[in-house]
Amino acid sequence: MNASELKELFQNQFGYNEGVRVFFAPGRVNLIGEHTDYNGGYVFPAALTFGTWAAAAPRKDNVYRFASANFPTEAECSVSETLVYREEDDWANYPKGVLNELIQLAEDENKSYSGADILFYGNIPNGAGLSSSASIELVTALALSKLAGFDIPMLELVKLGQRAENRFVGVNCGIMDQFAVGMGKKDHAMMLKCDTMEYQYVPVKIEGYKLVITNTNKRRGLADSKYNERRSECEEGLAIIKKYLPEVQSLGDVSLQNWNKVKSHIENETIRRRVEHVITENERVLLATKSLQENALVSFGEMMKQSHESLRDLYEVTGFELDTLFEEAAKIEGCIGTRMTGAGFGGCNVSLVKEHAVDEFKEKVAKNYSLKTKLDPDFYVCEIGDGAKEVF
C-alpha cells in the first residue's frame, strides 16, 4: 500500500483528505524466548515488514472515528464519554483502548485530545501469533499522539499499548509484542530483559539462510486460551521458590544452578514443568543470542529446536498443528532451526532455512502438513523491518 492509495481510501471513507498523515507499525516474530516475558525473563523478537498502516487527520470536535480497509465494522466515540469495551466494536476495541489510555495519560499532565479520523489497513494475518493486535495498538498510539502534537517517547507508547491490551481488551499479555512492534530496527532482533526493560539490538546476519514463517492456519484465540492459566501456574511456582530464594522477584531472576537446588520443593509436577521451561528457555535466549553474534547459526538453530521441544513437553502450548509443522520442517535437510513462535495453541512457526532449500522446504512441508492436518499452511519469507514510525 503506498501513500496515494491510502489517502484515496481515506478520501472514500471520510469524504476529505486534507491534513492526512500516514503512520505504520509492524508485526513481529519472536526468534526465541517464549512465555518468558511475563516472567521477567529474556525475549528475542524482531519486527517484520508487514504491519498496519493508519491514515489519520485531526478533528476539533472531540470525536474519534475509526474505520478499516480490512473489516466492515466502524466505530465512533467522543473524548467526553466513558470508553468501554463493546463486543460489537470488534477490532475497533484496540484503538479505543489505546485512546482511553492516551486520554488518561494526558489528564495526568493537564493536556487534552480533540478528535481524529483514522482509516486502518493491515496485511498481517490475523490471529496468527504475529502481533496484529500490538501493531494496531502502536500505530494508533503513535498517530493519535502525533496528531495531537505530543511527542511521547516510544517506550512510553509501548507500555501504554500493553496497558490498553491488559485493561481494555482484557488479555493479560506481557510486554514483548508491543516492545518489538514499537522499538524494532531493520535487520536486527532485540534482546530484551522484560523486568528491567534493558535491551540490546543484535544484527541478524544470516547470509545464505532465510527466516521462513509458516502459518498453521489454525486460529488461535489468545483471550480464551490457556494463556492466563499458564501465567498463574508460573506465579504459583514463583511463590514456592521465593520461600527458598527470598531475593528472587521473578522467574527470570532464577539461574539454572539455583533452580536445580530448589526444584524438588515444588511438589506439583505440572507447576514444576512450567517453571522448568521458563528457566531453561531463559538460558537458551542467552546462548542463542551469543551464537548469532558469533555467526554460529547451527547452534542458534539447535536452540530454536530445543525451545520448541520445551514448549511442547514442559509448557504444553503447541498442539498437533504446530508440532506437525515442527517435525516436517526439521526433516528438511536445509532447515537448521525451527520452532513455534508467539503464544502457541496454533499460530505460526519460524524456521531457519538454507536459501537454496527454501523452495523444497515450502513444497515438502506444505504437502506433508496438509496430509496430516487437512489444513493448508501459508509461508512468508521474512524480512526484518523497522518499528512504529510516521511514513509519509
Residue numbers of the site for ligand GLA (CB under 6 A)? 34-35, 37-38, 173-174, 176-177, 342-343
Closest contact distance (angstroms) between CB of 350 and ligand GLA is 12
Kind plus residue range of the DSSP H or E element containing 322:
helix 320-331
Closest contact distance (angstroms) between CB of 176 and ligand GLA is 5
Point out the catalytic residue in the list 37, 89, 117, 177.
Answer: 177
Active site residue 177: yes
What are the cell numbers at 226?
490457556
Euclidean distance between CA atoms 131 and 152, whole angstroms: 22
Euclidean distance between CA atoms 166 and 296, whole angstroms: 38
Closest contact distance (angstroms) between CB of 226 and ligand GLA is 11
Q: Which amino acid appears at position 342 of this protein?
A: G
- What SS3 class is residue 75? strand
Which residue reads 523444497 in cell numbers? 360
Nearer to ligand GLA, 75 or 181 (CB): 181
Nearer to ligand GLA, 14 or 199 (CB): 199
Nearer to ligand GLA, 35 or 210 (CB): 35
Nearer to ligand GLA, 177 or 195 (CB): 177
CA distances from 171 to 44, 117, 223 (A): 21, 26, 5
Gyration radius of the chain's alpha carbons: 21
CA distances from 362 to 72, 199, 246, 325, 350 (A): 33, 34, 49, 11, 12
Closest contact distance (angstroms) between CB of 252 and ligand GLA is 12
Counting every residue written for the chain, the total comes to 392
Are the beta carbons of 174 and 342 closer than 8 angstroms? Answer: no
Closest contact distance (angstroms) between CB of 305 and ligand GLA is 17
Nearer to ligand GLA, 13 or 135 (CB): 135
Active site residues: 177
